[in-house]
Structure 1
Amino acid sequence: MRYLVTADSDVGIVKKTNQDSICAFHANSPVGEIVMAIVCDGMGGLAKGELASATVVRAFSNWFQTKLKYELVKLDMQVIAGKWELMLKELNIKIMSYGKQYQTSLGTTFTGILIIGDAYTAVHVGDTRLYYIGAEMQQLTEDHTVVAQKIRRGEITQDQAETDHQRNVLTQCIGASPHIIPQILFGTVSDGTYLLCSDGFRHKISALEIQRAFQKNMLSTPSQMHAQAKKMILTVKQRQERDNISALLIRADHF
C-alpha cells in the first residue's frame, strides 16, 4: 500500500484556545509504509483541555519516535494495540491525578490509527471519530456518549440524537473517568480515504458532504488533500460551528 497524509486543525470562530491536539507521522520501513494519525479533543476550563489533549499526543508521538522500531522486529498488531490501551490507562491516571492536585477538571478524547503495510489497528475513547470513505462512508469507531447509548438501546433515533440535549455528554474520556475501556479495532486497509476528526468538524456538515469531499479521486496530491480539508473546515465555520475543528486524512492506494 501507498499512503498520502495531511492534517489540519482550526480554533474556530468562538474559542480563544484550540483544545484539539493532533499528530500525523508517515515513514518508510522494511515491512512497508507506516502511518500514525491521532486526534484528541480536550475539555476543561481555561487551557486545561489543551493540556490534557497535548499530554496524550506528546506521549504517543514519543512512542512512535522511540519505541515503534522495536515492535517491527517481531510485528504483532494485537501486541501494539494492547500497549496503546495500557498507555491510555496510564495517561488517564496521570491526568486525573493532576486534576485532583490542582482541583480542576480536565480530560480528552482519543482516536488513533496505526497502519503498517496493509494492516491497521485503531484505538478509541470518546466522540472523536474514525471513518473509512470508499464507495460509501463507514464510521469505524463507536461514540462513547449518552446519546449513542440511547441509540444502541433503541430509545431514540439518529435524527432525534442530533438535537438531544445530551448529545455531547461523554460516557468516558481520558483524565475524567475512573476507568476507561478503549474500543480496539483491527483490519486490512482498503483503497480509499481514512478520516479522523473531532466532533467540531462533523456537526455542521452531512455525511454525504464529507463523503463527496474526500473521495479518493478528489485527493490526488497532498496539496489537494490539504485544500479539501481547509475547504470543509471553512464551510463548518461559515455554518457557525462553535467548537474547535480538526481533520486528518489518509489516502490509501494499492500499487
Structure 2
Amino acid sequence: MNYLVSASTDVGIKKTTNQDSLTVKTIETDNGYFAFAVMCDGMGGLQKGELASATVVKAFTDWLYMNRNRIFRENMEDSIIRNEWEQLVKEQNRKIMDYGRRNGVSLGTTATVMLLTEYRYYILNVGDSRAYEITEEIRQLTEDQTVVAREVRFGRMTEEEARQDLRRNVLLQCIGASGDVYPDMFFGETKKDAVYMLCSDGFRHQITAEEIRSMLNPSVLLDTGSMKRSEEYLIDLNKRRMETDNISIVTIRTF
C-alpha cells in the first residue's frame, strides 16, 4: 500500500488563536509503508487549549517513532494497539490535569488518531473530532462523544434535532478535563484507492457529507496538489457560511 497525505488548518473568522493541532506522516520501514495521523481540538482560555492539543499530538508522535519498526515486525493485534493507546491517553489526561491544577486553569483536548497499515486501520477517538472513509460513498468511522450524539444513539433525538440543539458541542469527555477517560477504538480493513480523512468539528458544521464526498473522493484527489486545493476549498466554504470555530482537516489517499 502507498499513500499520499495532506493537511490544512485555519483559525477561522472569529477566534484569534488556533487551538487545533494535527500531524500526518507516511513512514517507511524495512517491511513496508504505513500512514499515521492525529487530529486534536483544544479548549481552554488564552493559549491553553493549544497547549493541550499540541501535547497530545506530540505524545502520539513520540509513540509512533518509538514503535515504527515493531508495528511491522510483530503481528500487531488490535488488543496491543488498544492497550498502548488507552494507556497513553490516560497518561496525557493526568499530565494535562496536573498542569491545570498547578496553574489554576481549565484546559483539555479531543483526539482522533489513525494508523493505516496495508491491511488494517486502527482508530482512537475521544471527543467530537472525526474520522471518515471516502470511496464512492462517505462513511463516518468514529462516533462523537457528545451529549446530542448519545441522545441520537438512544433514540431520544433525531439527527436533524441534534444539528440544531444548543448542546451539540457539549462533550461527554475530553483529555485533560475528565477524571477518567475512556477512548473509543475502531478497527477495520484498509481499502486501496480510498481517502481517509480526519477533521475537527469546525470543519463539518457548515458543510454537508455530500459536499465533503464530492470534493474529497479518490477520483478527485489524484495528487498532493489536488488534495490541498480540495481541503482549502472546503475550509473557505465553511468560512463563507460563517463557521466561527477553528477549521482543520487531514487527508490520506491510498493507492
> What's the TM-score once normalised by structure 2's chain length?
0.96
AA at the equivalent of 2:103: Y
Q: Which residue number in structure 2 is paired with residue 203 of structure 1?
A: 205
Conservation of the 8 A alpha-carbon contact between 1:129 and 1:143? yes
1:249 aligned partner, one-letter code: T
The one-letter code matched in structure 2 to 1:221 is D
Shift of residue 67, structure 1, vs aligned partner = 3.0
- Correspondence 1:86-105 to 2 at 5 A: 86-105=87-106
Distance in 2 (alpha carbons) for counterparts of 1:208 and 1:116? 27
For the residue of structure 2 that corresponds to 1:204, the secondary structure is: coil
Secondary structure of the 2:73 match is coil
| Matched-pair contact (CA < 8 Å) for 1:77–1:121 | no
Q: Is the 8 A contact 1:7 1:248 kept in 2?
A: yes
The reply to whether residue 128 of structure 1 matches residue 120 of structure 2 is no
2:250 aligns with one of 240, 248, 251? 248
CA contact (8 A) 2:29 2:68 kept: no
Name the structure 1 match of 2:144.
Answer: 143
Is the counterpart of residue 16 in structure 1 residue 9 in structure 2?
no
SS at match of 1:212: helix
Task: Give the ranges of 4+ consecutive aligned residues of structure 1 lying more than 3 Å apart after TM superposition.
Answer: none
Question: How far off is 1:228 after superposition?
Answer: 0.6
| Whole-angstrom distance in 1 between the partners of 2:88 and 2:132 | 23
Q: Secondary structure at the match of 2:82?
A: helix
How far does residue 75 in structure 1 lie from its aligned partner after superposition?
Answer: 3.2
Alignment root-mean-square deviation, CA: 1.1
> Which amino acid is 1:229 matched to?
E
Q: Which runs of 5+ in 1 are unaligned?
A: none
Q: Indicate if the aligned counterparts of 2:29 and 2:69 stay in contact, CA closer than 8 A.
A: no
* Aligned partner of residue 164 in structure 2, secondary structure: coil
Which residue number in structure 1 is paired with residue 32 of structure 2? 32
1:48 alignment partner in structure 2: 48
Distance in structure 2 (CA, Å) of the matches to 1:136 and 1:76: 29
Q: Which residue of 2 aligns with 1:166?
A: 167
Letter in 2 for 1:95: I
Note if contact 1:218-1:224 (Cα within 8 Å) is conserved in structure 2: yes
User: In 1, are the aligned partners of 2:162 and 2:168 still within 8 Å (CA)?
Assistant: yes
Instruction: Give me the TM-score of the superposition, normalised by structure 1.
Output: 0.96
Percent pairwise identity: 45
Q: Distance in 2 between matches of 1:238 and 1:75?
A: 47
> Unaligned regions of 5+ residues in structure 2, if any?
none
Instruction: Please give the secondary structure, in 2, of the residue aligned with 1:178.
Output: coil
Shift of 1:252: 1.3
**Secondary structure in structure 2 of the residue aligned to 1:142:** coil
Aligned-residue offset at 1:140: 0.6
For the 8 Å contact 1:24–1:35, the answer to whether it is kept is yes
Aligned partner of 1:203: which letter? H
Query: Structure 2 CA distance, aligned partners of 1:56 and 1:32?
Result: 26
Preserved CA contact (<8 Å) 2:32 2:72: no
